[in-house]
Amino acid sequence: MQGVVNVLMKNGVSDTDIEWLASGPPRSSQYDVTFKTEDKCISFLNKIQMQASLSHQGVQYRFVKYGKQIVSCGIENRDACGHGGV
């Protein structure tokens, strides 16, 4: 979860902009981010330009908007053999 927070902060989101940050089921590598306002959600998505994924410290983060203020983040961590771990 700390990696998700780091990516958000690196892209202009502060802790006061987030209402909820929740992890999915165990071993799912999915997180839901709920912004306090729709404007901040849209601002974040515009800043990352709806990229398919962002990279931070060798880990790929995919953000998908599915509500007015909710963004889903999927994490793909590649192990030493190059196999994805989603």
Mean pLDDT, the chain cut into blocks of 10 residues (86 residues total): 87 91 82 89 82 76 77 67 40
What is the model's pLDDT at position 86?
Answer: 39
CA atoms within 13 A on the CB side of 37: 7
What is the model's pLDDT at position 82?
Answer: 40
What is the model's pLDDT at position 16?
Answer: 94
User: What does pTM read for this prediction?
Assistant: 0.71
- Structural domain count, the chain: 1
What is the model's pLDDT at position 77?
Answer: 63
Q: How far apart are CA 34 and CA 58, in angstroms?
A: 25
